[in-house]
């Protein structure tokens, strides 16, 4: 092999490595700055999100912080770049305060300064009730794959945002809570499956979210891009395609 051929081979090899590195960098930047996919492992956000949904969280609505990175590394908290506060009713993906390697999803109902309370299963924001309109029944699935009948309601927040929630039982253990004033830099979040959600009604030490630091936000859940019924795992492999929920593919999260 001539020196010219060897030089050309080395140049091609270096070019391929540079191209691969550029692709990896573009993917990393896209996941870190634009959007990132997440998988829903629990039924705490039913009926809005189902176990087995794959969703995309947009990162730009709330700005960027350490929690926005696609890999978790320990960085000093210095606030958020281009930060913005979520709106009431936004469905957000965030780093769980109890273990920042875990990504959770809940709905924002309380902003800094809001007074939040549950009274007999109804949400009150600043002493104003979020209205509930009966909307039939549904099936609430738990993390073990068991389902039970749930009453479905349309909840309307004081800012006019409407979304569906489930109530499995009356007088649930989280149906009555003390009034909490949301401190600066914090959010109050709830799961839409109100009787099966460890959210801001439950302290971190007890496995819940507690008051959520805004710095823990990853992004806003905007769309379900795919969905598969996890109950199909117990069935023969050749039947698994039947578990795809095509009606949920590329649907918006509300």
Known catalytic residues are 44, 106
Q: What is the CB neighbour count within 10 angstroms for residue 176? A: 14
**Residue 253 three-state SS:** coil
- Whole-angstrom distance, CA of residue 119 vs CA of residue 194: 13
Look-up of token digits 């960027």: 64
* Nearest residue to 177 (alpha-carbon basis) of 105, 117, 102: 117
Helices (H) and strands (E) in the chain, counts: 1, 15
Q: How many CA atoms lie within 13 A of 92 on its CB side?
A: 34
Q: Cα Rg for the chain, rounded, in angstroms?
A: 22
Paired residues of 36 in beta bridges = 57
Q: What is the CB neighbour count within 10 angstroms for residue 50? A: 18
From the number of C-beta atoms within 10 Å of its C-beta (0-12, 13-18, 19+), residue 23 rates as exposed
């Amino acid at each position: 092999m001539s020196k010219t051929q060897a030089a050309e081979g080395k140049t091609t090899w270096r070019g391929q490595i540079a191209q691969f590195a550029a692709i990896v960098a573009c993917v990393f930047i896209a996941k870190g700055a634009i959007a990132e996919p997440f998988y829903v492992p629990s039924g705490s956000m039913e009926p809005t999100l189902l176990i087995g949904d794959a969703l995309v969280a947009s990162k730009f609505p709330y700005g960027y912080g350490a929690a926005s990175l696609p890999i978790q590394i320990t960085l000093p908290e210095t606030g958020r770049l281009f930060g913005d506060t979520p709106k009431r009713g936004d469905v957000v993906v965030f780093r769980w305060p109890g273990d920042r390697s875990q990504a959770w999803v809940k709905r924002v109902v309380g902003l800094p300064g809001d007074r939040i309370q549950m009274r007999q299963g109804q949400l009150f924001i600043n002493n104003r009730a979020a209205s509930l309109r009966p909307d039939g029944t549904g099936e609430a699935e738990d993390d073990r794959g068991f389902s039970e009948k749930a009453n479905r309601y349309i909840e309307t927040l004081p800012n006019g945002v409407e979304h569906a929630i489930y109530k499995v039982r009356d007088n649930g253990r989280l149906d009555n809570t003390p009034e909490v004033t949301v401190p600066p830099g914090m959010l109050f979040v709830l799961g839409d499956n109100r009787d099966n959600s460890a959210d801001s009604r439950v302290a971190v030490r007890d496995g819940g979210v507690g008051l959520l630091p805004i710095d823990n936000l990853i992004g806003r859940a905007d769309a379900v891009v795919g969905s598969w019924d996890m109950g199909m795992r117990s069935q023969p492999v050749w039947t698994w395609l039947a578990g795809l929920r095509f009606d949920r593919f590329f649907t918006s999260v509300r």
